[in-house]
């Protein structure tokens, strides 16, 4: 028999999910049989797969040792140990994602990505062990491979849920710095509609609403101009795939170095070897959620506005 005491990381999780994580070699049919035969107990009593865990609960698993066997090291240990942590406490972390690194695993890139590096960081610091079951720590916002910048991450289920709720309500403010190859629109808030092509991983933008098209809202503010380039602050009021890149391109001000929505001739003319887009600032509203106490009402930003040196 193995017994586990539930911590804040696993609080709120379905019991069946905890068992799947803790005993990865146990077949699903075997798990449900163990529930029926009372070889899985919650706080010493009979329980059900849909029961929700709370911090301090004890889970007893009367299973054979083979059920708990898995790889000697988790897959995320194949990721690089390089990780730029701007802030962290017991519940959350603020990370910097470099350009060229995926936020999450994708086809052809399973070994190294930001979330894998984050999991490795927590594992090596003794803050996360997948063999103990429970939900994995997770990123709460993502950036495209060629966009660098600040990413929020939760270390446990409660923190991830709390951050995602703020994002869903539009209460977390995310600002980007971009360099455009044409004059950007006048300072202000702009609305449009976006449609994603999942097969091509591209989006289209139009000015009028239509079935299946999602509304996007982006705020633009020009900071500087020099040599036919413009430095623009872009603030998201909605968070859609490729929103800033596609919206600026739709407004005839594509981002320098953008190979998907940009201007190829302008990229060659300026010898752009990278995409000039950085998520440089994120602001969290004040809130009374205890797991977000460390970041409540705080503003995290890079030391200086990216690309500003180009305009001096």
The pLDDT tens digits of the residues spanning 43-94 come to 999 999 999 999 899 999 999 988 887 645 678 888 999 999 999 999 999 9
**% of the chain exceeding 90 in pLDDT:** 77
Q: What is the pLDDT of residue 35?
A: 96
Domains of the chain: residue spans and CATH = 2-68 (3.10.290.10), 75-170 (3.30.2350.10), 175-279 (3.30.2350.10)
The pLDDT assigned to 83 comes to: 96
Burial (CB count <10 Å: 0-12, 13-18, 19+), residue 100: exposed
pTM of this structure: 0.76
Q: What is the mean pLDDT of the chain?
A: 93
Q: What is the pLDDT of residue 65?
A: 85
Read off the pLDDT of residues 105-156 as tens digits, 9 standing for 90 and up: 876 555 799 999 999 999 888 898 887 777 789 999 999 999 999 999 999 9
State the CB neighbour count (10 A cutoff) for residue 236: 21
Tokens coding 158: 């409660």
């Amino acid at each position: 028999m193995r017994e586990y005491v539930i911590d804040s990381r696993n609080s709120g999780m379905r019991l069946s999910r905890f068992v799947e994580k803790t005993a990865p070699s146990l077949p699903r049919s075997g798990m449900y049989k163990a529930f029926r035969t009372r070889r899985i107990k919650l706080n010493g009593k009979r329980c059900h797969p849909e029961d929700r865990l709370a911090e301090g609960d004890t889970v007893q698993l009367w299973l054979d040792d083979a059920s708990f066997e898995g790889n000697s090291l988790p897959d995320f240990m194949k990721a690089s140990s390089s990780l730029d942590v701007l802030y962290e406490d017991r519940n959350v972390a603020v990370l910097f994602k470099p350009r060229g690194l995926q936020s999450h695993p994708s086809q052809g890139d399973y070994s190294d990505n930001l979330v894998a590096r984050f999991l490795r960081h927590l594992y090596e610091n003794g803050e996360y062990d997948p063999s103990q079951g429970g939900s994995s720590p997770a990123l709460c916002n993502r950036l495209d491979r060629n966009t660098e910048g600040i990413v929020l991450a939760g270390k446990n289920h409660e923190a991830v849920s709390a951050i995602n709720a703020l994002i869903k309500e539009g209460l977390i403010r995310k600002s980007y710095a971009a360099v455009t190859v044409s004059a950007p629109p006048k300072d202000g808030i702009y609305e449009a509609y976006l449609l994603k092509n999942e097969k091509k991983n591209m989006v289209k933008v139009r000015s009028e609403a239509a079935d299946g098209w999602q509304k996007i809202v982006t705020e633009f503010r020009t900071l500087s101009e020099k040599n036919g380039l413009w430095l623009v602050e872009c603030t998201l009021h909605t968070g859609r795939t490729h929103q800033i890149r596609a919206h600026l391109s739709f407004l005839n001000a594509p981002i320098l170095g953008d190979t998907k929505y940009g201007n190829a001739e302008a990229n060659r003319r300026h010898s752009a070897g990278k995409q000039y887009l950085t998520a440089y600032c994120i602001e969290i509203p004040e809130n009374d959620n205890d797991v977000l106490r460390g970041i409540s009402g705080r503003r995290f930003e890079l030391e200086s506005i990216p690309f500003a040196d180009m305009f001096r």
